[in-house]
Structure 1
Amino acid sequence: MNQSKFKKNSLYAAILLATSAGAQAQQEASQAGNNADNVEVIEVRGIRSALTKSAQTKRLSDGVVDAITAEDIGKLPDTNLAESLQRITGVSIDRANNEGNKVTVRGFGPDFNLVTLNGRQMPNSSGLQSEGVSRSFNFREIAAESVSGVNVYKTGRANVTSGGIGATIDIQTAKPFDYDGFKAFASAKGIYDSSVEKGDSITPEVSGMISNTFLDGTLGVLVSASHSKRDSHRDVVGTDGWVRNRNADNVDKSAIDTTKNPTQAIWAPWTARVEHYDTERERQNAMAVIQFQPIESVTATLDYTMSRLEEVSQTNRSAFWFDSPEGDADVNGTLWNPRNPNDELNFWAWEYYEEKENDSIGLNVEWQATDALSFEFDVHSSSSHSNPNGTTAETLANLKNPSGSVALIGADFVGDIPSIIVDDSSLPGGGYVKENIVSDLYQQRGYEMENDIKQYHISGSWENMGSDTTLSRINFGVMRTEYQIDTYLSEVFSFVDVPLDDLDLTFIPLGDTADEFSGANLLFPEIPQYSVHQFIDIVEANGVYTEPSIKTNGIEEDTTSLYLSFDFDTEFNDMPVRVNAGVRYESTDVRAYSVQQGVLAMNYRHSQELRAVEDGVFAEQDLTGEYSRVLPNFDFSMNVTDEVVTRFSYSRTLSRASISAMFPSTTLNARPGGPFNATQGNPNLLPITSDNFDFSLEWYLEDGSYASVGYFKKFVENFIGAGTENREINDVNGLPLRDPSVDPRPGCPDSSDVPNPACLSQPGDPIITWEVATPDNLQNREVDGWELNLQYMFGDTGFGTIVNYTLVDSDESFDPYNFDQTIALTGLSDSGNLVGFYEQDELQVRLAYNWRDEFLLSLGNEPTFTEAYGQLDMSVSYDLSDALTVTFDGLNLTNETARRFGRFEEQLLSAEQYGPRYNIGVSYQF
C-alpha cells in the first residue's frame, strides 16, 4: 500500500493508531506512528468506546483475532473474566458454582486452549482429584479489575506461543507508561448471593490501582491490588454415575429397542443423592510494575503478579447405594425405576479444600537499535502451587443404617429430577434417627501440586522505512520454555466401625433453594448435618485411622522455538492488501517420572472392595520422549472498499498431551469379581496438531458497528484416546496378581487395618485378567463451523446491540450405542449471545443473554454430557461525576438449573441450582 493511498483514509489511520491492546496490535500501531501528524483523532467513551476498540483490533489484525477491551481501567464488562470472554463469537465457558471458570473455543475444550499473560505462558495447579492435572488456566483466579484487555487468537501466528488448537488467549494488564502521568482508581462492591444459607449473604470485593511517572516521564511505577470474598450455596440432585450391565439379572428388558441396542445392554445408577454445598472463597490479586526509559531507544519493564485463592466447601448428603437393583429398562436400556429390598440409607459429610498460590516475575527490555531495527528480550519465572501445606483437598465420611435394615429403597428417574422411594418402616423411629445409624467409611484424597514455567524470549523486527518493495516488516525470534510439574496425590479409603456417641449428628429439612426444584417434595425429606473432621477425630481416637499413601508423579518439558515471519503491503486492482507469512519450528524433550510402591497381593477387604497391598518400598520409574513440529501460517486480508474486508488464513497449531496421560505409573482399580481396571501413562504421546483454514467477510462502519460472517475448517491429527489391552499384571515377585474373593476363605472379607492373611491372594486363587488402558494417539478428526456476528449502534440514540452465533460440527459425533468408542471431541457445541445496551450521558445499561447447546463434557468409562444452558445477566452504571461511578450487576437473573446426564438424557447425573447473584458497587477515578 503506498503512502498517499494510506493517508487518503483518515479514519483507517486513526483506527490503526488507536489499537494499543495486545502485542499484535501494538506492532501495527507503531508501524503507523510516523503518520501521526496526519491522523484525525476520534474520542468515544464508555461501552461504545470499548466495543469500537475491540472492533478495531479485529479489523486490523493478521488472521482471525477477537478482543475484549476495558472501557477504562477496572471496567471490564463482566464481573468475571471468563464471563466476559463468552460474549466473543465462538467462545463458550464451563461454570463451577455459578461462575465461569474455563473456556471452550470453536468446540475445543479448556485443555485445547492456551492462556498467556502479557504473552507469557502461565502455570496451573489443582488440589482436587476430580479436577485432575490440567494445563488449562482457571479464570476464577484473576480479578477482572486488573485486566485492561484480552485478545483471542483463533488462528496461529509464528510469533505467538504455541499450545492452543482452539485459540491462544492473551490477557493484558496495565503498565505505567500506558498513562500520561498520574492515574488511579478505587472501587468497592458488595456481592449479594441469594443462595446463601450459611455464611454472609453480602460479602466485600475491593480493588484499586495507582500509577505515576517521574523524572520527566522516564520512570513509571504502577501498583494494583484486589480482595474478594464470596459465600455461596448450591443444591444438587442426581447420582454418582451410571454403569453398564452391572447386576442386570433382575431387570425387565422387554422395552429395549433391539434395532439400536441389539445386545440389550442396560445402565443402572450407582446411587440416588441429594446434597447441600456451602462454600466460602477468598481471593487476593496484586501487581507491581516498574518501567524505566534511561534513553529514548530503550525501555525496561520489571513486573510481579500474584494471586492467592482459598476455597472451602462443606457438603452434606442423603443418599443410598444400589447394589443389585431390580426394575424395568426403557427403550434405550436405562433402568429408570431401580429398586433394592433390604438395604440402607447413607448419610455423607464432605469437605473440599483448595488453596492456590500463583506468582510470576518478569523482565522485558525493548531496544530501538535503529530507525528500522528493533529488538526485545523477555524473561519470566512463574509458579502455581496448590495446597502448599499438604492439607488434604477432599475429606469425606459416610454413616448408614445397619445393613439390610431398610425394607426398600428406590428411585424413578423421570422428569428433571428423580423421585425417591424409601420404606424405612422396619426401623423403629425410621432411618433418620441417630439410634438407627452406624459408621461406614472415611476417605481422604487430593493433590499437592506445583507447576513452574520459565521462558526466555529474544525477538527482533526490521521495518521497511521507505523502499518501494511491498515487504514492510520482518519479524524473527527464539524462545526457550522450561515446563515442570510435580504432583503428590494422597489417598486413603477405609471402612471403619466406631461408636457415634460423641458425634454431633442432626437432620434438617431440605432448604429453601432445594424446594425450588420441581418435584422436590419427592426427594429425601431430611439432610444430615455433622462435621467430617469430628468423625475423623473419632476414628483416630479409636485407633483405626490409616495414614494416606502418597503417589508422586511429574513431568519435565523443555521446548526450543524458532520463528520467522514477513509482512507485505500491496494492492490488487486499487484494493489494499496485507499479507503475513511465517513459520515456527519447535523441538520438545519430555521426561516423565513416577515414584511408586510395588504390589505384594490383592486384599479382599469388603464386599465392594479389593485393594492392592503395597510393599512399602518406593522406586522411581523414568520414561522419556521427544518430538519436533513445523508450524507455518499464511494470513491474507484485502480491503474491498473502505468498509469491507475479506480475509483468508491458514495455520498449523498444536496442543500438547494431557499431563496425567503421560505419567508412567500404573493404577489399579478392582472390585470383587470385577471389573478389574488398570491405567498406565505414556510419555511418548505426540502433540495434537491442527491444520486450520479460515475465510471471512467483514463490514465496518465508522461508529464501531460491524457485521461479519466467517467459516473455519480444522483437520486435527493425533487425537488421544485410551487404547485397551487385556493382560495380567505381576506383583513384586514377578507372579501374576490373583483374586481372593472368588472362593473366599473363612473370615473374609476383613476390613481390619492390618491385612488378614486369609484374605490376601494365594497361589490357588484365579489369576486376574486386567483391562489396562494406556493413552495413545489414535485418530484424526475434522471440525468445521460458521461464526456470525453483528454489532450495531443505533445512531445517536444511545442504543446498541450485539448478536452472534457459532455453529460447530465434526465428522464424527458421539454414538451412544458404540460401547467401544474411546475418542470423542469434548466441548463441541453451538453457542450464541444476545446483548442490548443503552448509553447516554451518565447512564450505561446492558442486558446480556448467553446460550450454549448440549455438549460432551468428558468421556471415561461412561460419558458425561452438559445439557443446553442459557443465562441472563445485566449491568447498570451511573456517573455521578467525571470521577465517581455507581454500578449494579445481576447474574443468573432467571435462576437457571444446570443439568448433566450420562449416555442418554434420562440418565441424570446432577441437577444444580445456585440462585441469582447481585453486585452493588462504587468506583472513583483520580
Structure 2
Amino acid sequence: MTKMIHMPRRAALMAGISIASVALGCSAHAQDAAAPEQAAPPAEEGDIVVTGVRASLSSAQSIKRNSDVIVDSIVAEDIGKLPDRNVAEALQRITGIQIQRSFGEGSSVAIRGLSQVRTEINGRDVFTANGGRTLSLEDVPSELLAGVDVYKNPSADLIEGGIGGLINLRTRKPFDFDGFKASASASVNYYDMYGKSKPQANLLLSNRWDTGIGEIGVLVDLAYQKTAFRQDQISSQPFFLLDQSLKADGTPNNATDYATAQGLGRLGKPTYLPHGVGIGQYLGDRQRIGADVAVQWKPTDTLLVTGEYVRSDYKFQYGDYSFFAYTGTNSITPDYTAPFTFDDDGNFRSGTFVNVPIDSNTSLERRKSVTNDFSLNVKWNPTSNLTVTADGQFIRGVTDGQRSIVILHSNAERLYQVVGNGVPTMDILPDSNPANGNGSVTDIANYAPLGGGYLDHIDHSVGKEYAGRLDAEYKFDAGIIRSISGGLRYTDRTAVTDSSTYAYYGTSALADNLYEVHPFRGDLYRGYQGVPAGGVFFSRGIVLDYDATRQALAPYVDASQRQSLLDGVSYVPSDRNTQGEKTYTAYGVAKFDFEEAGFPLDGNIGVRVIKTKVATDGFSVQTPQAELPNGEPTNGAISYVPISVNSSYTKALPSLNLRYHFTDRLQLRLAASKGLTRPDFSQLNPNINIVEFNPGNGIRTSSSGNPYLKPLEAKQFDASLEWYFSRTGSLYAAGFYKKVDGFIANIATDETYDFGNGPFTVSVSRPLNGDNGKIKGFEVGGNSFFDFLPGLWSGFGVQANFTYVDSKAPSPAATDNEGNALIVPLEQLSKYSYNLIGFYDKGPLSARVAYNWRSKYVVTTRGNGSGELPIFNAARGQLDASLTYTVNDHFGLTVDGVNLTNTENRTYYGIPSRPQSSVLNDRRISITARLTY
C-alpha cells in the first residue's frame, strides 16, 4: 500500500501533475498535456511506486483534483493500453457521458446530453472530413493515446467550439520518458457471430540524447487494427392507424381503411397495423492505421521545440443482406380468413397479410477517412516567471464514400407476422391454392420475372485548416494574483464536399449465376426460428466489388442507360458545396489565490473574444416550366445558378472558475461560463433544387441548408464537491445547468421563386436557429481500492458513478393535437445512466469487470408512422471484462471480453407495444501479448 504523505495545501497542489496543471490552466495548453508517467504524483521517499490499474486511477484522479477547471480523465494503464480498445467506449466510463454505437462499436459521444462536443489532439483542432466539425472517435486507434481529458466547463484559454464539452486526446512525447523506451503488443480478436478472427498490433520506440546542440528526443508510435463485425436485425415497419372516419353523407373518408377495419371486425375501435417487416444482416470490417511521430529539441534550459505528425487512416466496409416485405405508405391487406390479435389499445399483435411486395437487397457501403496533422510548438521561458509559447498547425482530412444497392423484387403471397415485447416474428407462407405456385422466397423463379433495380452513390470530402497561436503567461511570486496569461489565435479552414444524388437503373431478370440463396432460419439472430428459411439475393461476392457490380448489371439495364452505368456516378455542379471559415481570437485569463490572505479560495477569471468570418458557395438548380409542341407543359432545360453568401459574427465568452478548500482533501468547485458551437458545414450547404412544373398541382417542395445559421450559445453553471481520501480514492457530487440558445431544427417555410413565367411558391425545409433549451442534472461517483483489507483482499477496488440529466428542447417536428410544437427531451439523451466497475490489482494479476447502463432515450422526435410520437431506444446495459497477468517487468498477457451478456438493442415507435427493431452484435474476445523495455 502506498504510504500517504501529508503536506500543506500548496505543496500538495504542486506535488500533483505539474505538466497537466500547465496544460489545464495556462497558455501552453496545446503542448503541455501530461503523459501518464508524469500525471501521477511523484513518489516520495519510502513510497511504493504503483503500476497498472492503480497507477491509471491515481493519474486520472490527480488530473481531476489539481486542475483549474472541471475535468475528468482516462489514463492508459500501460503504453498502448486504454481501459477499452475503442476511444468512445472508454469515454462511456466517465460520469455524464453517453455514447452511440455503430455496428457494435462506440462511435460518438454526448456530454451531459449535448452532442455538440469539440475534439482535440494535444490541445489542437482535429476533425474528420465529413461535413462536420469534429473527429469521428472510431477513426483513431486507441493504442496511440496516453490518455483522454474531458472538460465540462472550460476556462477562457481553451479553444471554443463545444457547448457540450471538450475532449482532448493526448499522445506521448519523447521527453515523457527518462531515456530509451520500447513497447510492442500483438493481439488477436475473435468475433463470435461472424466467426472471424482479426489481428491488432502496436509498436512504440522512443529515446533521448544529449548532443552538442542540446538534448534531442524522438518518438515513433505505430498502431494497426483490423476488426470484423456482424449485426443481425429484425424489424417491424411503421404502424398506421386505420382511418374509419365518415363524411357528412355517411360515406368513408378512406374506403380502403374502412373496409379493412370492417373485415377485421374492428369498426369503431382504434386499429393500428404495421405495414410489413424486415430483416438485415450486416457483415463487415474496419481497419485503423495510426502513426504518431514526435521530435523534441531542448537547446537550452529555457527553450523547448516540439514537432509532431499524427496520422489516422480509417477504412470501413460492409456488405449486407436486407430483406423487406412491406407496402410503404400504401395500404396492407389482411387475410381475413386467418386469426388476428390486438392489444387493448388497438395495436396489432399477430395476423397474416396477403400479396405483400418483397424487396431483397444486397448492398455495399464503404468509407475511407485519412487525417494528417502537422504541428510545431516552441516554448520559451526567458525567466522563471515568464512563459511564451508559439504554436502552428496544418491539418488535412479526406473522406471518400460509396454506397451501392442491388434490389430484387418478389411477392409474399401470405405474410405471417407477430409483434410484442420480444423479437418480432415473420414468415412467408405459400398461397393455399397450389395452382398459384409454391410461393417460396428461396426460389429464383419467384424473383426473376419482376426484375429489380440498382442504386449508386459516391461522395468525397476534403477539409483543411491552418492554425497559429501565440500565448504568454507571467507568474507572480506573491500576492493574490498568481498569474496573468493571454494569447492570440488565427485559423483558416476550408471544407469542400461532393455528394452525388442516387442514380437509379431499372434491371430486367438476371442470369441465374448472378443470384444466390442466403439462409436466415437457424442462422440469423443466433439461431432464431421466427424468420423465413432464407431469401434470394444478388451475389454478395460481386456486390463487394464496386466496379464488378456495374459490369455484371450492364447487360440487364436499358440500352440508353448502359454506358452511364459502366462509367459510374459523376458529379454535377450542384453536388458540390464549399465552405470557408476564418477565426480571429484573443483571450485573457487571471489566476488568483487568497491563501496568503488567510482564505482558502483560488481560481481563474477570463474572457475569450472570437470573430468568425464564413464564406459559403453552392448552386441553385433551376428547372423552369416549358411547353411541348402540342402546348402541354413539361420540364425545361436545367440551369445551375451560383450562390455565394458571406457572413460574420463576433462573440465574447467569459468564464469564472472557483475552488474553495475546506481541507487539503475536501474542495468545492463553482464554475460559470458561456460557450458556443458553430453549425456543421453540411448545415450551411446552400444548394437547392427547384422545379417549376407541377403536374399534380400539389405543394411544390424542396430542401436545403442555411448559410445564414448562427452558432448555438450556452450559458452554463457547475458546482462540484470533491473528497480525495487517498491516492486512488475519491467521492464527488456535481450539479450542472445549461441554457442553450438557438437550437437548430429543420423547419418548412413558403418561399417564392420566378423563372420568367410568373411567381410560384415552394415549401422549403431548411435548418433554422430556433428557441432555447434547458439541460440540468447531477452526477455522483467515486472510486477506491480496499487497501484496509488484509493480504490478497487489498487488491480489490471499485469505481461507480451515476448521472441524471433532464432536458427540455423545442421540436417543431413533434406537435400536439392543436399543432403546437412539443417540448421533448433532447435526442440521444438518456435521463439516467450509470457505471459499475470492479477491479483487482495485486502482484502479477490485474482484472476489471465493467457494466455500463443507460435508460431509454429518444432516437428521433417524430418517427415515420409513429403517429407523431418519438421513436425510443429501450434501456440498455453491457458487460465488458479484462484480465492481465504480468509475467515479469517486461512481458504481460491480457484477455479482454466485450458484450459478454450478448446485449440486445431494441427500439420502438412511441410506445413499447409498437416495436421497431431488435438488434444483436458480436461478442468479442481478445488475447494480447505486450512487451515493454
TM-score bracket, normalised by the shorter chain, equals 0.7 to 0.9
Alignment of 1:222-621 (within 5 A): 222-239=219-236, 250-251=256-257, 271-322=276-327, 323-326=330-333, 341-387=354-400, 393-401=402-410, 406-409=412-415, 411-425=417-431, 426-428=436-438, 430-438=440-448, 439-464=451-476, 466-467=477-478, 469-510=479-520, 514-516=524-526, 520-529=528-537, 530-531=539-540, 532=543, 536-541=550-555, 542=557, 543=559, 544-545=561-562, 546=564, 548=569, 550=571, 551-571=575-595, 574-600=598-624, 615=637, 617-621=639-643
* Distance across 2 between alignment mates of 1:249 and 1:903: 27
Q: What CA distance in whole angstroms lies between the structure 2 residues aligned with 1:701 and 1:254?
A: 69
Q: Counterpart of 2:218 in 1: which secondary structure?
A: strand
Where does residue 859 of structure 2 map in the other structure? 857
% identical equivalent positions = 25
The TM-score normalised by the length of structure 2 is 0.85
Contact 2:521–2:532 (8 Å) recurs in 1: no
Work out the CA distance in 2 between the residues paired with 1:679 and 1:809. Answer: 32
Distance in 2 (alpha carbons) for counterparts of 1:215 and 1:49:
30
- Which residue number in structure 1 is paired with residue 651 of structure 2? 629
Shift of 1:866: 2.3
Q: What CA distance in whole angstroms lies between the structure 2 residues aligned with 1:598 and 1:189? A: 56
> Partner of 1:659 in structure 2?
681
> Which of 67, 71, 88 is matched with 1:61 structurally?
67
Report the Cα distance in structure 1 between the residues aligned to 2:759 and 2:347, rounded to whole angstroms. Answer: 36
Contact 1:238 1:911 in 2 (8 A): yes
Partner secondary structure for residue 500 of structure 2: strand
Alpha-carbon shift at residue 595 of structure 1 (Å) = 3.4
Q: Which amino acid aligns with 1:345?
A: I
Q: Deviations 1:238-296 (Å, cap 9, x if unpaired)?
A: 156667889975447999xxxxxxx9998765652112111022211111111111222
> What is the rounded CA distance, in whole Å, between the counterparts of 2:84 and 2:285 in structure 1?
21
The code of the aligned residue for 2:442 comes to Y
In structure 2, the residue corresponding to 1:779 is in which secondary structure? coil
Match of 1:115 in 2: 119
Q: Structure 1 596/571 Cα, relative in aligned 2: closer, same or farther at 3 Å?
A: same
Q: Which residue of 2 aligns with 1:640?
A: 662
Counterpart code for 1:800:
G
Q: 1:724 to 1:414 in 2, by over 3 A?
A: same
SS of 2:69's partner is: coil
Equivalent residue number for residue 890 of structure 1: 897
SS of the residue 1:75 aligns to: coil
Structure 1 counterpart SS, 2:64? helix
Q: Deviations over 1:272-326 (max 9, x none)?
A: 2112111022211111111111222111111111111122101112212213225
Report the CA distance shift for 1:344/1:71 in structure 2 as closer, same or farther (over 3 A): closer
Partner of 2:210: 215
Any idea what SS the aligned residue of 2:51 has? coil
Q: Which amino acid aligns with 1:451?
A: G
Whole-Å Cα distance in 2 between the matches of residues 614 and 67 of structure 1?
60
Summarize deviations over 1:35-81 as a string: whole Å, max 9, x none: 99999977322211111111111111122111111223212111111
1:184-195 mapped onto 2 (5 Å cutoff): 184-195=182-193
Q: d(CA) in 2 for partners of 1:16 and 1:385?
A: 36
Counterpart amino acid of residue 389 in structure 2: E
Instruction: Point out where structure 1 has 5 or more consecutive residues left out of the alignment.
Output: 127-132, 256-262, 604-611, 738-768
Amino acid at match of 2:467: Q
Q: Paired residue for 1:774, among 766, 779, 793?
A: 766
* Aligned counterpart in structure 1 of residue 741 of structure 2, from 712, 717, 725: 717
* Count of residues paired in the alignment: 851
Matched, 1:810 2:807: yes
Query: What is the Cα deviation at residue 668 of structure 1?
Result: 7.0
1:818-854: CA deviation from partner (whole Å, max 9, x where unpaired): 6664885222222110000010011100000001121
**Stretch moving more, 15-24 or 420-429:** 15-24
Deviation per CA, 1:703-743, whole angstroms, max 9, x where unpaired?
3200001110111111111222245666x555678xxxxxx
> Residues 179 and 437 (structure 1 numbering): CA distance in 2 closer, same or farther, change over 3 Å?
same
Cα distance, 1:483 vs structure 2: 2.2
- Give the Å deviation of 1:356: 1.3
| TM value normalised by structure 1 | 0.85
Match runs of 1:65-214 below 5 Å: 65-109=71-115, 112-126=116-130, 133-196=131-194, 201-214=196-209
Secondary structure of the 1:371 match is: coil
**What's 2:264 paired with?**
none
Cα distance in 2 for residues equivalent to 1:52 and 1:720: 41
Per-residue CA deviation, residues 598-622 of structure 1 (Å, 9 max, x unaligned), is 325699xxxxxxxx97845444211
Backbone CA RMSD of aligned residues:
3.4
Q: CA–CA distance in 1 between the matches of 2:358 and 2:33?
A: 67
2:441 touches 2:536 (CA, 8 Å); kept in 1?
A: no
Any idea what SS the aligned residue of 1:514 has? coil
AA of the residue aligned to 1:175: K
CA contact (8 A) 1:275 1:527 kept: no
Instruction: Give distance in 2, aligned partners of 1:36 and 1:492.
Output: 59
Structure 2, unaligned stretches of length 5 or more? 1-5, 244-252, 262-267, 335-340, 628-633, 789-793, 865-869
Instruction: Tell me the secondary structure at the aligned position of residue 701 of structure 1.
Output: strand
**Cα offset, 1:625, TM superposition:** 2.0
Residue in 2 that maps onto 1:743: none
| Rounded Cα–Cα distance in structure 2 between residues aligned with 1:528 and 1:359 | 43
Which residue is equivalent to 1:844? 846
Paired residue secondary structure (2:15)? helix
- Structure 1 Cα separation of the partners of residues 485 and 46 of structure 2: 29
Superposition deviation, residue 638 in structure 1? 1.0
Q: How big is the shift at 1:684?
A: 1.3
Q: Which residue of 2 aligns with 1:828?
A: 829
Q: Which residue identity lines up with residue 185 of structure 1 in the other structure?
A: S
Aligned to 1:44: 50
Distance 1:554 1:150 in 2: 32
SS in 1 for 2:663: coil
User: In structure 2, how many angstroms separate the alpha carbons of the residues matched to 1:377 and 1:336?
Assistant: 66
Secondary structure, counterpart of 2:595 in structure 1: strand
Residue type at the aligned position of 1:771: S
Partner of 1:48, secondary structure, is helix
For 1:623 and 1:905, locate their aligned partners in 2 and report how far apart those are by CA, in whole Å.
46
